Amino acid sequence: MILTNTEKNKEASMIYKLNKLDLNNDFYIKRDDLYPFSFGGNKARKAELFWKDLKNKGADCVVTYGTSSSNHCRVIANLAAGDGVPCTIISPIEQKKQTYNKILIELFNAEIVFSPVEKVKETINTVLAKLEKDGKHPYFIMGGGHGNIGTQAYVNVYSEICRYEKENRIKFDYIFHASGTGTTQSGLVCGQILNGETENRIVGISIARKNPYGRDVVVESVRDYLANTDWKDKFDEQMVEFDDTYTNSGYGVTNDCIREWILKLMKSEGIPLDETYTGKAFAGMIEWLKKKQIENKKILFIHTGGTPLFFDYLNGIC
């Protein structure tokens, strides 16, 4: 299985300037959607580290959860298939049409256990207990690759961004990204702290969660990651900017503005965005900058992936 070893000081995805966007600021993009495994994305970055941990612990099967459109579940199922590790995915019962992630998860032969949303926790415990009773050593990964290992993946990304800045002698004024379970954002914030930066420049555009909950989860994740380090006193909650203005009444709910930006980015730059995460975050970023009248700044957008969701979007417009 070919995975990029992000710990070897190698840039795992490129950063470049978007030249066709004439919007009063200089826009750059970090293409984590091209991270070289299983159609890329932040879930591939996190999964790589979880997988290493699974191997170190000598686990012989993996259990995680997520919906049928989950990028995380697709990547885990893909890794499991490649390594011949049995994979169980606990999925909430939902009335949803077919998605490419779901097709891929089935193709990778993952076992899907459906559960009513309110019983997901119970179902996970039952599945894990059964595997253990059968003499297996299951490895459990929280939905979306949440937890310190997932956070580490974006601490690494922050280092990549800093290296790019150093080599190219620029400094991004703002770093935007789609924020969901908060792991990506907590990794970036921890990266800032570990680099001795005290002023925040990271803006997480929430794709579903509302405040205070959404922000609290990020704050908690940062605390958790820093808990056993010398940096724990350096964290100021003000460093977490989790903007819930653009959630558009919930996970996966789209609108014309998001769709317009997806088309614009595809046609002008050849970059695929999706309606659930990156399209929503990109549209939110543009609004955020407009509202605050920010001009002549250097802006980095982290493209967190979701390529199969881009094709779901195409299916919707054809």
Ligand X SMILES: *Cc1c(COP(=O)(O)O)cnc(C)c1O
Which one among 101, 148, 152, 184 touches ligand X, defined by CB under 6 A? Answer: 184
| Minimum distance, C-beta of residue 80 to ligand X, in the bound complex (Å) | 18
Alpha carbons within 13 A on the beta-carbon side of 40? 20
Q: Note whether 152 binds ligand X by CB under 6 A.
A: no
Q: Is 144 in the site for ligand X (CB under 6 A)?
A: yes
- Judged by CB under 6 A, the stretch of 61-69, 97-105, 176-184, 245-253 that binds ligand X is 176-184
| 180 lines the binding site for ligand X (CB under 6 A) | yes
Binding piece for ligand X, criterion CB under 6 A, among 10-18, 174-182, 241-249, 259-267: 174-182
Judged by CB under 6 A, the stretch of 17-25, 37-45, 122-130, 310-318 that binds ligand X is 37-45
Q: Min. distance of Cβ 207 from ligand X in angstroms?
A: 7
304 counts as binding ligand X under rule CB under 6 A: yes
Residue 41 binds to ligand X (criterion: CB under 6 A): yes
Per rule CB under 6 A, is residue 308 in the interface with ligand X? no
209 makes contact with ligand X (CB under 6 A): no
Answer yes or no whether residue 156 interacts with ligand X by CB under 6 A. no
Q: Does 143 bind ligand X (CB under 6 A)?
A: no
Which stretches of the chain bind ligand X, using CB under 6 A? 41-43, 71, 144, 178-185, 277-278, 304-306
